[in-house]
Amino acid sequence: MSSHGLTVGFLAEIMQGNELENPVVQILGSKRIAGSGEQSERFRLLISDGKSLYSYAMLGTQLNDLHRQGKLQEYAIIRIDRYTTSVVNRNEKGEKRVLIIVDVTVLKEGSLVGEKIGNPQPMTDTPSQAAAASGGPDKPAPSRPMDTLGGAGNNAGNRSMSGNSTQNASLTDSLTHPISSLSPYQNKWVIKARVMSKSGIRTWSNAKGEGKLFSMDVMDESGEIRVTAFKEQCDRYYSMIEVDKVYFISKCQLKPANKQYTSLKNDYEMTMTNDTVVQECKETDGSLPEIQYNFVPISQIANMEPNAMIDVIGVCKQAGEVVQFTARTSGRELKKREVTLVDSSNASVELTLWGEDAQNFPASANPVVQLKGARVSEFGGGKTLGLVGGSMMKLNPDSEVGHKVRGWYENGGSDASISSVSARTGAGGGGGFNTEWLTFQEAKDRNLGSGDKPDYFQVKAMIHTIKSANAVYKACPQTDCNKKVIDQENGQFRCEKCNAEFPNFKYRLLVNMLIGDWTSNRWVTVFTELAEEMLGKTSQEIGSSLEFQKEEAEKLFGSISFKSFVFKLRTKVEYFGEQPRNKTSAVSAAPVNHKQYNALLIKSIQELTGVGKN
DNA sequence: CCCCCCCC
């Protein structure tokens, strides 16, 4: 039976702690391990080397996209170009070794293979005998001794259950755990991780007490995690920890990460405890596993919640001066600089830099700005970005994405028509110019208008019906008063608001029309100025024709029926007694600019399908 | 156990 080039026996080898280069295996299944949200989802593969089946192959999250693209489906034959193994659980029954796949090449797509190769049998956990016999030192030459970690307390995580009490705590890389395998349910581990960023020491004092802390974000090939050190641990480790250095870390407490304060791809974060051991790993080959980014197209920032933490890359199209001022509330002297970033989503966002970041920024150089863990804020209805503790800003990164966005910018991007997600729409501010495009169904699904402030959106919609009855009312003739007057039936019209009677009145319009897009429709109110614009007549003309030449008025309304406009709408729930009613009015109604509208549709299609993006 | 991150 042909093995189709599979590396038969590879799985048995790695279970023994041995390594083989570029093994070829077949995928026989995969399982999505749900994290909270797309960012932390992981895939676990069932793989075969033709002889054995193995279900503890974890896909590094950097390969998630490959999986989502369907390249790693059943029966696919892949070459594992880079991997790492790790013992995650060792007990009397044996040990469990996890294979973390870091890089792969798909040799043959599953659909072209179409069948399981050979008759692979499930692997069992390595018996403890074998584990003990070949032990940690089953690697030919343990190259990275770690003398003190764990020390007499036998704290070296995964060793403690081996039953080999005489063993010195000497640890090789093969026995460290991938960060992505850590969970609160398993505390026997050691990670080897590089510090990506480190906060300053911060103190706090509140009802629950006071203290100090610092935190750092660390990473390895499998993932990243935040580590926080409080009080004693803060004192113990703060000066030792340096950004970019690599450390062995063990015995921290894991807890669910609060996503509000981090953009790291990990469901957990950890806290140092009294038992925590941290030791610098000096013998590294200097290679820095790539930091994982989850870049958000700038156009999408418009849809993000305030306080979201995101990764963004864009070109600095414009940078303001450093502005110094005194904060009104705190009295602090602040320095800031506003920077405009653009990317190929043809959108821009304002990034606010503070203090040294503001002063050191090369304002005239139009650098590519790469942000990890930037924080989204909302101001005046627009979105802006800021940096917080764990944020990292890198200028002109020498990376594919960096060059790509630079290339886009140099090849027309700098002149592209850009819409700003930071543009202030302002509640009641006439709809602004950056109103979000939504369908009626989306507006409904999002419960638009149910908040304290009105919501605005724009939609391309056709006028289905216009109610001519009550489309006009007689209003107070005073310039700044539009209050409906009471006809005194004696040639006088009374305005309650002005507490006066007038011999005349002016017509005002309040036209209710049913407008619809392809998803749904909605009754909206069009007030005087806009109604005049849409109908091409003054309120007085429309009012008098409604009163005296009904037919002509109907004809006028008919002239815009079944016409399409781009409506900017304002929606807000209002209460009529106990009854909530969503009132929607039109702020503007512009003729459809088909070129622009088509560009919008194309962009939506690209976003929905991923086809033709970037 | 923090979680403030500034201003319009």
Q: CB of A352 under 7 A from strand B?
A: yes
- So what's the pLDDT on residue A56? 85
- So what's the pLDDT on residue A229? 97
Q: CB of A385 under 7 A from strand B?
A: no
Q: Cα–Cα distances in Å, from A360 out to A321, A338, A393?
A: 11, 13, 12
A97-132 pLDDT, tens digit each: 788 898 899 999 999 999 999 999 988 655 444 333
CA A270, C1' B2: Å apart?
13
- Cα–Cα distance measured from residue A525 to residue A471, given in angstroms and rounded to the nearest whole number: 10
- Which of the pair, A493 or A31, is modelled with greater confidence? A493
Dihedral sign computed on CA atoms, order A318, A320, A321, A324: negative
- So what's the pLDDT on residue A35? 58
Q: CB of A328 under 7 A from strand B?
A: yes
Tell the residue number behind the tokens 């929606």, with chain if given. Answer: A571
Q: CB of A138 under 7 A from strand B?
A: no
Q: What percent of chain A has pLDDT over 70?
A: 86
Phi and psi at residue A417, in whole multiples of 5°? -80, 120
Q: Is the pLDDT of residue A166 over 80?
A: no
Residue A137 CB partners (closer than 8 Å, separation 6+): none
User: Binning pLDDT at 50, 70 and 90, where does residue A442 land?
Assistant: very high
Q: CB of A334 under 7 A from strand B?
A: yes
Q: CB of A200 under 7 A from strand B?
A: no
Residue nearest to nucleotide B7 (CA to C1'): A327
In this prediction, residues A316-330 reach a mean pLDDT of 89
Q: Which residues of A323-332 are buried (b: 16+ CB within 10 A; e: fewer)?
A: eeeeeeeeee
In this prediction, residues A466-474 reach a mean pLDDT of 91
Helical ranges in A81-127 per DSSP H: 110-113
CA A262, C1' B6: Å apart?
19
Tell the residue number behind the tokens 């306080």, with chain if given. Answer: A307
- So what's the pLDDT on residue A424? 79
> For residue A587, what are its two tokens?
């702020």
- So what's the pLDDT on residue A138? 35
Residue A364: helix, strand or coil by DSSP?
Answer: helix
Q: CB of A424 under 7 A from strand B?
A: no
A583-600 pLDDT, tens digit each: 999 988 888 878 778 878
User: Binning pLDDT at 50, 70 and 90, where does residue A7 land?
Assistant: very high
In this prediction, residues A41-63 reach a mean pLDDT of 88
| One-character DSSP codes across A485-535 | PEE-SSS-EEETTTTEEES--EEEEEEEEEEE-SS-EEEEEEEHHHHHHHH
- So what's the pLDDT on residue A597? 82
- Cα–Cα distance measured from residue A164 to residue A350, given in angstroms and rounded to the nearest whole number: 59
- So what's the pLDDT on residue A358? 95
Q: CB of A384 under 7 A from strand B?
A: yes
Taking phi over 0 as left and psi of -120 to 50 as alpha, with beta for the rest, A231 belongs to: left
Measured to protein CB atoms, the chain B nucleotides within 7 Å are 1-8
Residue A456 CB partners (closer than 8 Å, separation 6+): A381, A425, A431, A432, A435, A436, A568, A569, A570, A571, A587
- Cα–Cα distance measured from residue A579 to residue A593, given in angstroms and rounded to the nearest whole number: 38
Q: Is the pLDDT of residue A89 over 90?
A: no
User: Binning pLDDT at 50, 70 and 90, where does residue A94 land?
Assistant: low
- Cα–Cα distance measured from residue A410 to residue A368, given in angstroms and rounded to the nearest whole number: 11
Q: Is the pLDDT of residue A413 over 70?
A: yes
Give the domains, in start order, of chain A with CATH numbers. 10-122 (2.40.50.140), 175-280 (2.40.50.140), 298-420 (2.40.50.140), 440-475+507-600 (2.40.50.140)
A52-59 and A94-108 as β-strands: parallel, antiparallel, unpaired?
parallel
Tell the residue number behind the tokens 């029966």, with chain if given. Answer: A75
A574-585 pLDDT, tens digit each: 888 888 888 999
CA A379, C1' B8: Å apart?
9
A422-440 pLDDT, tens digit each: 987 644 333 344 578 899 9
Q: Is the pLDDT of residue A133 over 50?
A: no
Q: CB of A174 under 7 A from strand B?
A: no
CA A408, C1' B8: Å apart?
32
User: Binning pLDDT at 50, 70 and 90, where does residue A610 land?
Assistant: confident
- So what's the pLDDT on residue A90? 59
Phi and psi at residue A186, in whole multiples of 5°? -150, 110
Contact A326, A334 (CB under 8 A): yes
- Cα–Cα distance measured from residue A376 to residue A517, given in angstroms and rounded to the nearest whole number: 31
Q: CB of A198 under 7 A from strand B?
A: no
- Cα–Cα distance measured from residue A57 to residue A49, given in angstroms and rounded to the nearest whole number: 12
